[in-house]
Amino acid sequence: MNENKKTKQISFIDGGVCAPRGFLANGVHCGLRKNKSKLDLALIYSKEPCAAAAVYTQNLVFGAPIAVTKESLEDNKAQAVVCNSGVANTCSPDGMEKALAMREITAEALGIKAEDVIVASTGVIGKSLDLEPIQKAMPALAKGLSNKGSAKAAEAIMTTDTRKKEYAVEFEIEGKVCRIGAVSKGSGMICPNMATMLSFITTDVLIDDTALKSALKAAVENSFNMLSIDGDTSTNDMVSIMANGLAGNPMISQAGEAYEIFQSALKAICIKLAREMARDGEGATKLIECVIRGAKDENTAKILARSVINSALVKTAMFGEDANWGRIICAMGYAGVDLDVNRVDIAFSSAAGRVQVCQNGAALDFSEDKAAAVLAEDEIIIEADLADGDGNARAFGCDLSYDYVKINGDYRT
């Protein structure tokens, strides 16, 4: 099926994780965070049991919630997500005990099995998680579940984020209207390799767990794994998805048109979330995209795009609105893949226009004034054409500003 045709069938709608049928959500301030205006405990619940899948951080140091959720999803089933902000529950001597207890508290409030709860935490590493505020707040959190509660859940998982990230898409599969909704958090400690963030996705599509896992992995590879804020991979990263089947479409269990439509919709919402996390990077003033074209293959293009977007020198040049393309070709050169520098073209583009700065690996005469105008915009695209094949890729990131240091210099204190 033509990719453009599939994309045209997908439309963004309101509702976040509650847009799909049968999903409810809520968020409250339970007291884990000192600022009472900050929500710090989120709950997402499906009225029906779901097929479920997740992708996790590749950091060898990972939080107790990751271990508990892996255990919960051994049967590829789930019905709820609980997430706190403020404390990561990582590298704490009682971490597993607290994560398991958090799962039990949630299950009891919802009247479901503990093994059907996805557990997540985000915040400061090395601090013990206080369960008392969670236990006290859980009855009200569960009672307040609503099909209008996505915004509260999105707010409750935020840490240094400056804006909520919640989206939903609608599409059709064999005549049935289907939806996917999502909330995510992520602003700093983000680097390709699952990226450092949390994202909880819901869908009313009827799909078996094998197909669901495959679709999630493919979507993550082209979205969250192409995202970098600062080069640090976190300990608590997770993307989970629950599918309750209430859309009423025929079961999706293998590759085919229905699977392709679902995968395209899932990829679309994940890319949207990745872009918004890049835009909201800690201290960021610009959303940066690196587009690689004409690489030997797609994997080569991905490696090159990630290398450019992850370069601190490229990031600082974008903050300074400096068309220093040498930093870009340098980052491509150390990416660890074959590169014929004599065939590389580089350009910058934005709403202000496009300026080519390098051709066949050598400098071009270009207008510095035009380049400055292009780079003054808040969304910048770095384009590189390798003239070496059909491999294309796109990575998402942001500039690196003075405020990034300020935010992270006193993050814990």
CA–CA separation, 336 and 233 (whole Å): 19
Task: Specify whether the CB–CB gap between 286 and 317 falls below 8 A.
Answer: no
Task: Specify whether the CB–CB gap between 269 and 277 falls below 8 A.
Answer: no
Task: Specify whether the CB–CB gap between 398 and 286 falls below 8 A.
Answer: yes
Q: Which amino acid is at 354?
A: R
Q: How far is CA 319 from CA 190, 226, 258, in A?
A: 18, 20, 43
Using CB atoms within 10 Å of the CB of residue 324, give its burial: 0 to 12 exposed, 13 to 18 middle, 19+ buried: middle
Q: How far is CA 184 from CA 238, 312, 343, 384, in A?
A: 10, 25, 39, 30
β partners of residue 359: 362
CA–CA separation, 262 and 267 (whole Å): 9
- Catalytic annotation on 316? no
Residues 6+ apart with CB under 8 A from 58: 193, 194, 233
Q: Which amino acid is at 189?
A: M
Query: Which of 196, 203, 233, 235 is an active site residue?
Result: 196
CA–CA separation, 21 and 41 (whole Å): 23
β partners of residue 243: 51, 203
Residues 6+ apart with CB under 8 A from 360: 342, 343, 344, 345
Catalytically active residues are: 196
